[in-house]
Amino acid sequence: MSRNLFRAAQSTFRHSASRPTSIASFQQFHNTSPKMTVHNIQTAEAFKEAVQQNKVVLLDCFATWCGPCKAIAPILANHSNEEEFKDVFFAKIDVDDLPELSQELGITAMPTFMVFKDGNLVPAEKLVGANPNALVSMLKKHA
């Protein structure tokens, strides 16, 4: 009896696997805005240009070897896709690749998040550490 039941289940599985179901073939389209992104800044000039060209810039100062930086990076990427923060330019710099800029900005620990507003190269706010709740509060305050 159990052998026949097993064969029947195999046969049903084979047939359903080879035919697309109405749910599987249904394509869902969403009316959403294009995905934002976290821009990887490669030079000090590119950083200054980004600050001057955008009303609000959130800068993530990270290092590739930094565990907390790796942990908060996907959270930051998710926030860059939220409609609430569509007017914020999300950027990041690797402090090891841009040591002069890191020193100029006064980076002493990673990750450090800074908000720049209205083309001003002096940060409006600074957050040190991988604190997702404080990051969201800072974003909401300046968005």
Please give the positions annotated as active site.
66, 69
Does residue 105 contact residue 115 with C-beta atoms inside 8 Å? no
Classify the phi-psi angles of 140: left when phi > 0, otherwise alpha if psi is within -120 to 50, otherwise beta. alpha
One DSSP character per residue, 68-103 reads HHHHHHHHHHHHHT-GGGTTEEEEEEETTT-HHHHH
16 DSSP 8-state letter: H
**CA gyration radius for the chain?**
23
Extract the tokens encoding 14.
């084979």
